[in-house]
Copies of this chain bind each other. A is one copy, B any other.
Amino acid sequence: MKKNKTKEGEIFLQLLKNRGLSFTRQRKIIFEHIIKNHDHFEVKHIIEALQKRKLRVSRATVYRTLAHLEDCRLIRKMDLGHGHSHFEHILGYKHHEHLCCEKCGKIVEFGDSILEKRIKKILELNLFNKTNHNVRILGICKNCQK
């Protein structure tokens, strides 16, 4: 199986190696598809997109591969309150949080150092790990306020 020269590729291959796992056809397909598309994504979209390209990979394998990609911190699983998981890339992206509209599902990414500072304080006060957190704010966006 041809090696992948990107930084992401190295990280993924390293994780597989450390775990004694192989870079199979399916893992390659899923990995490359995700790395190519630098957006928020959902499992359903991955499966549909691969089907369109006639690259048959089972649902179970997609879930299994996403879990590996999460483990090596290439992607992050998020619960944005839609009843299913969303994922986003981490590598090369600055830490940020998500603001979502409860009505239409609109997602806004934002970074805010004042908020982050206060969150850390709150985590500390409650004896939670300060470095590991994620914040989700639900609200109503402009369009949905009418």
Contacts and interface: CB of A to CB of B under 8 A. Distances in A.
B129 A145 contact: yes
A136 B139 contact: no
Interface string A32-46: 000000000000000
Contacts of A112: 118, 122
A118 to B, nearest CB: 5
Contacts of A49: none
A29 interface: no
B110 A115 contact: no
A137 B133 contact: yes
B127 A141 contact: yes
Contacts of A140: 128-129, 132
Nearest to A83: B79
A136 B137 CA distance: 7
Contacts of A132: 139-140
Contact of A110 (B110, B126, B135, B142): B126
B115 A128 contact: no
